[in-house]
Structure 1
Amino acid sequence: MRVARYQEADSVRVALVEGELLLPLPPGTEVLSVLTASPTERLAIRAGAETAIPLDRASLIAPLDPPAMRDFVTFERHVQGVHSSVGGGAAGIPDAWYEAPAFLFMNPHSLTAPFGEVPMPPHTLAMDFELEVAAIVGRTVRDVDPDDAESLIVGYAIFNDWSARDIQRREMQVNLGPSKGKDFANTLGPWITTPDELEQWRVGDRFDLRMEVRVNDELIGEASLAEMGWSFAELLVHSSRDAWVGAGDVLATGTCGGGALAEWWGRRGEQSPPPLAVGDVVTMTVEGLGTISNQIGPIRSPGHRVPAARPLSPAPGA
């Protein structure tokens, strides 16, 4: 089952996706209620759908409003290429990467439409994309047992963690972040695909899905989702250790190998391919999950800056 949301006049509607058609569900239907439904309940949900509409005539929006989003760094090949480009470190992979999956929290209010325009953020000359896959957690959990973790994941979608690499690099010099280098836009979509749809690509606890990203139709990078250093179930176990993970939360893989410009910059020692510019179109396709495509639009933000720090002098108690 594939579950989408689209804009209809002033309301947001939930629909099933079948081929090139959208099957609208009754007003008030919640995405999570569909994703967590039993097989019998799903048959009833499908039977209650309204008259189908062409998919290409619908204005798709992000298929979910997640309470929280965690972005991991699970692809070894990406870490190897990007560490010197963005992290400011020497080439290679930090030993700490192998010890446990690391993640950062993202802005859940920054989600864009899967085919919408993404405005260029202000103050950057190094706009970039990140090709990822996101898992959706079905219910609120804590200290998840490893044997139960996979059953708690109710869907998957393509995820693009847009990044301003020059801003990110400066922020990470403080050993905290990134923040403004990443919180301006994230793209999730085009819909959420339930796990049963991906069984044909299963390899152990992973899915061997081909991932690719193109800029203006030029192939930039490709990988397999099975190259993750940890499974999605293991990401959930780690996230929930002594912490709550909410129903509808997103767990994203982080960038796959070859899935970001900054990785190529780190490998080549130069900005080749060049950073994204206004008018560029970034298209991501993941086998079994569909395609998202976004054009970079002009800067919309006034880009207000705050002044440099002004500590009290002398310091209190001096």
Structure 2
Amino acid sequence: MRLARWRHRGEVGEGFVVDDHVLPLPDGGTIAGLLAAGLPATLEIGAALVAATHGDEEPRLDDVELLPPLVPTTIRDFVAFEEHVEGVSAAVDGRSEVVPEWYEYPTFYFTNPHSVVATGETVVPPQCERLDFELEVAAVIGAVAGSDGANLTPEQGAAAIFGFTILNDWSARDVQAREMRVRLGPAKGKDFASTLGPWIVTADELADVLDPDGFHRLAMEAEVNGTPVGNDLLSNMGWPFGELVAYASRNTRVVPGDVLGSGTGGNGCCLAELWGRSGELSPPPLVAGDEVVLRVERLGELRNVVGHAGPVPRVPRARPRRPGPPRATTEVDLA
């Protein structure tokens, strides 16, 4: 099944996408409520709603404005494609490499759940010179009976996945490169926008493309202004999603509504990889008016236009350390 949120005639609706119609949940039900109920309960609710719906009385998909399919509790974004790491490191750090530590554990960073945009929205970037897109797939966590979401095994991690959606992790590469020299980040190079959508496809819908090792064989492709720039297979990840969830849950919890991104595919699923491999900014960085279209087999399509950067308040540079009296010393009795 497909789950979505939308705006129709000024009202927000949440529910299922069936063929070319949207079916709102009854009694003010929400996607968050379905995630908390878990996948088996959601499939039962969806089947009952479809059976009770007759004719074309519900809004058509073409007549609604899609919203992000959920309001995430958190967004962890992994870097699970080796080819992407190898290519983009040259563009961001000036040296193409995959460090040995990448192979040890599936590394991620937290990005901003408050700046999620929908397909069709204009993306407002920060002031930057190297704006980029990143084509990813994200797993959405739901409730699992008998589990609090902590210290999951890979098998439990896979069972915790409610469904999947497409993620565009928009990136200001020059801002990212600057802040990561401080040994933190990425932060402001990433947190201005993430596109999720167009809907959540429940995990059961992808069972037939799941290989014995837990990888999903789905085609991914990206284009800018109608020109293809990259494609990959989701199964080229270094870890399957169940293992990403398990690692995310280590010494903490994953909960319904958490979003875990795969990281960017290889073979041109972002511009920075192409810049790193060629040594030049070709294709050029994104600018206002560019349209980015990302497609993933069975999951749908994201389509966003880049807007103009807006003004922001100035933050001054750090002040130099000021001279002062020597720091007081304190003797500590360790006896």
| Alignment TM class, shorter chain as reference | over 0.9
SS state at 1:264 partner: helix
Question: Which has the larger Rg?
Answer: 2
* 2:248 counterpart of 1:234: no
State the match for 2:299 in structure 1: 289
State the match for 2:20 in structure 1: 20
CA distance in 2, matches of 1:235, 1:316: 50
SS state at 1:141 partner: coil
CA distance in 1, matches of 2:58, 2:207: 27
Q: Quick check: 194-203 or 275-284, which moved more? A: 194-203
* 2:150 counterpart of 1:145: no
State the match for 1:199 in structure 2: 207
Contact 1:26-1:48 at 8 Å conserved across structures: no
State the match for 2:101 in structure 1: 96
The alpha carbon displacement at 1:24 in A equals 2.3
CA distance in 1, matches of 2:2, 2:324: 59
The letter of the residue matching 1:203 is D
CA distance in 1, matches of 2:204, 2:324: 61
CA distance in 1, matches of 2:325, 2:102: 40
Which structure 2 residue ranges, 5 or more long, are not aligned? Answer: 328-335
Matches within 5 A, 1:133-212: 133-139=137-143, 141-204=149-212, 205-212=214-221
Deviation sequence 1:236-280 (CA, Å, 0-9, x none): 110001112221100001100021000000000000000001110
CA 1:136 to 1:268, structure 2 compared with 1: closer, same or farther past 3 Å? same
The alpha carbon displacement at 1:165 in A equals 0.5
Contact 1:81-1:263 at 8 Å conserved across structures: yes
State the match for 2:332 in structure 1: none
The letter of the residue matching 1:23 is L
Contact 1:26-1:49 at 8 Å conserved across structures: no
Of 90, 108, 111, the residue aligned with 1:106 is: 111
TM-score normalized by the length of structure 2: 0.90
State the match for 2:256 in structure 1: 247
Count of residue pairs brought into register by the alignment: 315
SS state at 2:156 partner: coil
Higher strand share: 1
Contact 2:139-2:261 at 8 Å conserved across structures: yes
Which structure 1 residue ranges, 5 or more long, are not aligned? Answer: none
State the match for 2:333 in structure 1: none
TM-score normalized by the length of structure 1: 0.94
CA 1:58 to 1:110, structure 2 compared with 1: closer, same or farther past 3 Å? same
State the match for 2:31 in structure 1: 31
The alpha carbon displacement at 1:200 in A equals 2.3
CA 1:157 to 1:316, structure 2 compared with 1: closer, same or farther past 3 Å? farther
CA distance in 2, matches of 1:269, 1:133: 27
Of 33, 58, 62, the residue aligned with 1:52 is: 58
The alpha carbon displacement at 1:9 in A equals 4.2
State the match for 1:275 in structure 2: 285
The letter of the residue matching 2:242 is A
Of 135, 157, 160, the residue aligned with 1:131 is: 135
